[in-house]
Amino acid sequence: MRLLSNKDVYLVLAVWADIQGGVVKDWRSASKIVKCLQSDVGGWNEWDRSSKIKWLERFLNWLWNNGTTLQNGWKKVVNFVYDDRISNGVDEVIGEYNRYIRERFGKEIEVNKTNSEVIKAVRVLQKIAKERGISVYEVVKMQHECWEKIDRPLVFERMSNERIVRRRIEVKSDIDSKAGVVKRSNISSSSSNNQMESELRNWWNTVLKVGIAPYIDKKGWIGRVAKEMWNELMNTETKEEKMKVLREYSVDNIVEKWKKEGYPDFREVD
């Protein structure tokens, strides 16, 4: 029974049985899915059992809801990984929008992630943030500060028009220039990005070695991320949950987060 040599096969079958409401003994299909998971899902082999089950619940529910059989599930792993990554990117951008709205207006706004204009706005904000070497948060902030008459939160979908978003940024930049506001130079070239990435890796390695507690009250991007990690760790109850948080805030994942947020300057930590 070589197909059963990997315990993950049992996890696939157990989760699928729970979803479709009955015992499943399709070992071969489950084994093919596991092989795809091992090659296409980053970090799969290092995850604990709880993390794998949670991922499988999302993936197999997605298969079931899309009418895909377990036999064809292995063909959909890459599609789900891609869609999941896109979904995470959308969540991060909307999260930065909500963070600014809370800080500026003291409000909570529900954003419909299934709206095509919302997705388009996410792409516009990510694109411009990357081009200008600033964070998505900064792009959102500039949208709301370009004219004094903007005294309420912009509807998220209204940032889907790239031309208008760029125009708002130009207006805000012109206002800042006339007021003598000095901006940090943009991080735009590939060499600069590589250099900053190397510096970020060194920074975060230091944070992990020293411990995040000394950094949670620091200013800037490093301090914010350290605070987020601290809060998540404080909400864990088991060793497995703590290890999951540590994996989520690994050096590689922090670098990826930094890139998705538009290469924000992280050097202000005093």
| pLDDT, tens digit, 9 for 90 and up, residues 108-142 | 898 887 788 888 898 899 888 888 888 888 999 99
Burial class of residue 151 (count of CB atoms within 10 Å of its CB; 0-12, 13-18, 19+) = exposed
> Cα(235)–Cα(257) distance, rounded to whole angstroms?
21
- 117, amino acid identity: E
Scanning the structure block, which residue is given the tokens 């390695």?
A: 205
Between 178 and 228, the higher pLDDT residue: 228
Predicted local confidence at residue 80, as pLDDT: 85
| pLDDT tens track for 206-238 | 788 777 888 888 778 888 898 899 988 888 888
Predicted local confidence at residue 22, as pLDDT: 76
The CB-based long-range contact list for 98-106 (8 Å cut-off, 24+ gap) reads 99/137, 100/137, 100/140, 100/141, 100/144, 101/153, 104/141, 104/144, 104/153, 105/152, 105/153
> Cα(180)–Cα(206) distance, rounded to whole angstroms?
36
Average pLDDT over residues 150-172: 90
Average pLDDT over residues 139-146: 90
> Cα(83)–Cα(221) distance, rounded to whole angstroms?
27
Q: What is the pTM of this model?
A: 0.47
> Cα(98)–Cα(96) distance, rounded to whole angstroms?
5
124-126-128 Cα angle (round to 5): 65
Q: Is the pLDDT of residue 246 over 60?
A: yes
| The pair of three-digit structure tokens given for residue 141, joined into one six-digit string | 């902030």
Average pLDDT over residues 46-69: 88
The b/e string for 88-105 (b: 16+ C-beta within 10 A; e otherwise) is: ebbebbbebbbebbeeee
32-244-194 Cα angle (round to 5): 90
> Cα(207)–Cα(120) distance, rounded to whole angstroms?
35
Q: Which segments of the chain does DSSP mark as H helices, in order?
A: 8-20, 27-40, 49-65, 77-105, 116-132, 136-145, 162-178, 190-210, 220-234, 239-248, 251-260
- 116, amino acid identity: S
